[in-house]
Every structure is written in C-alpha cells, then in structure tokens.
Structure 1
Amino acid sequence: MAYLARQPEGKFCLVEEVASQQKLPANFLSKIFQRLARRELLAPRRGPGGGYALAKAAHKISMAEVVSAMEELPPEGNQCFLAFRGCGAARHCAIHDAAAQANDILWQALRRTSLLHLERRDR
C-alpha cells in the first residue's frame, strides 16, 4: 500500500507492477489486494489503465484499518490475545490481563498511524 501511496492521485497500478517493485509474488499480492478492496481500502479498476489505487487519501487510512482487513492480529476488545480456549469474559487465562493491555496499546498505535506516515518512513 505504501507503493500505491507514492503514486500520483488517480493512478492505477497493476498487481504485477507492484509485486515486481516490492519483490513479492504476484499471486500472493493479488489475494491481499482483493481483500483490501473488499474492505474499501483499495479501489479496483478493470480493463486498460486498470489495476488498483488507494480508495481514499493515504492520510485517511489508518494501519488499524489495514491490519483489521488482513485479520493478522487479535481483534480489539475482550478476546484472548493468545487465543486460548476457555479464556473469555467469564474466565481468563493467567496472562489475559497483561496481554489485553498490550493488545489495547498496539491497537491505539495502529489507529494513530496513517498509511501516509508509514509511506514517508519507507522512502
């Protein structure tokens, strides 16, 4: 997404172009882009001049939105950070409180960090 954030507004990039520039497998990146498009973080366009572009300005996309779309971190809320069975609202695992606090801090940081901020650090 940082690569797309560096493009002129309205420029659509092919998955293969982004994959080549970022040294990622195109099939892998295509699946990620599809997921991000379903969450309306990327705008897809078919046909000549098509590809993907950011669906909104980079400063309006938080890393929390991106991570949430990818479902790679425990969700915000009272779910067990370590995904232990039986750990929930009624009964907690031994590390639940510390892990929940760490999870809250992480999500706060992700909400404060925009794609624009990340793109500037990536230069």
Structure 2
Amino acid sequence: MLSSRARYAMRALLDLSLRDDAKITLIQDIADRQNIPLKFLQQILSSLKVAGFVQSRKGPGGGYVLAKAPEEITLGAVIRAMDGSIAPISCVSVTNFSECGCPHPPTCVLRVTFKEVRDAMALVLDNTSFADLRDMQRKADGVPSILDYVI
C-alpha cells in the first residue's frame, strides 16, 4: 500500500502538471486544491525538490513549478522517490532486496507470484507519465486537449 506521502506527492505533481508549463504555483493553492495539509505538503515538496521533480522560487511571486516536463516524470519514479521500492514483499524488490525468511527461496511460489505482481505494477507505473495523467484528468473534467480561440 502506498504511503500518504507518496499519494500526496502524486497529487501535488498532477496539480502542477495541470498548470501552464512554467507558471509558478503557490504552495497554499496546491494544498487547498488537493486537500493536503500545508505543513505536510511543505515536507513533501522539499523531498520532490531534492529528487529533481520540482523547483522552487522564494519571495514575492514565488512558489513551485515542475523541474522537468510532465512527459519525463513517471508514477514509478515518484513512488520510488517517496516510498522506496514498489515491490509488495522485500524478496522480490529490485531496489531494496532482502530475504523474507522463506525456508526454500529457490522454489517459493509466493516469491514467484509476488515477482509477477511487482513486474506488472512496474510496467504500468513506469509507463505512465504525468503528461498521461494530465491528459486523462482534463478529459475526465471535460476540458478539450486543444483550445481553439476564434475572434
């Protein structure tokens, strides 16, 4: 199960992805729109900044903006940055492998099954960008992907 930290991080990044490409967004606005406690969001955005997903600007007109294009940020990368591994059990983790205490690891069918789960999750999460999510959200909200203004 994902931590609150990872869930809020994904919501904050989606919020920034829905804004104009280089538009600075106030942290309070993200917190209000996404119903995230402000103090917790400050910690999360600090972690996202260290991980290279967002940039911040201080002072008047300051706030947060994506550090990369939404096409370059995947759900898998964000989850790993916030929670570590995406594996459901430690013995199938690629990034944080540790034995689980199984008496027969080479023939453990639980390990084989949970490796399949991990691989399926990684396939979806690593191939879903925040541009994909932005576009899906706009479609769900009824916002056309191309705005055509006629005067």
What's the TM-score, normalizing by structure 2? 0.68
CA distance in 1, matches of 2:92, 2:71: 31
Matches within 5 A, 1:26-105: 26-71=38-83, 73-74=85-86, 79-80=91-92, 85-87=100-102, 91=105, 94-105=109-120
Which secondary structure does the structure 2 equivalent of 1:44 belong to?
strand
- How large is the RMSD of aligned CA atoms in angstroms? 2.5
CA distance in 2, matches of 1:49, 1:72: 33
Larger radius of gyration: 2
Note if 1:18 corresponds to 2:30.
yes
Please, which of 106, 116, 132 is the counterpart of residue 117 of structure 1?
132
Pair 54,108 (structure 1): closer, same or farther in 2 beyond 3 Å: same
Letter in 1 for 2:112: D
Could you tell me which runs of 5 or more consecutive residues in structure 1 were left unpaired when the two chains were aligned.
none
Could you tell me which runs of 5 or more consecutive residues in structure 2 were left unpaired when the two chains were aligned.
1-12, 139-151
Is the CA contact (8 Å cut-off) linking 2:79 and 2:86 kept in structure 1? Answer: no
Pair 102,27 (structure 1): closer, same or farther in 2 beyond 3 Å: same
When you count helix as a share of all residues, which structure comes out higher? 2
CA distance in 2, matches of 1:53, 1:79: 37
Instruction: Give the ranges of 4+ consecutive aligned residues of structure 1 lying more than 4 Å apart after TM superposition.
Output: none
Please, which of 19, 23, 26 is the counterpart of residue 7 of structure 1?
19
CA distance in 2, matches of 1:14, 1:79: 41
Kindly state the Cα deviation for residue 122 of structure 1 after the two structures are TM-superposed. Answer: 2.1
How many residue pairs align between the two structures?
A: 119
What's the TM-score, normalizing by structure 1? 0.82
CA distance in 2, matches of 1:15, 1:120: 22
- Deviations, residues 61-111 of structure 1 (Å, cap 9, x unaligned): 111111111116535xx8346x87325xx8365511100111011111111
Kindly state the Cα deviation for residue 15 of structure 1 after the two structures are TM-superposed. Answer: 1.4
- Percent identity, please: 29
Which secondary structure does the structure 2 equivalent of 1:120 belong to?
helix
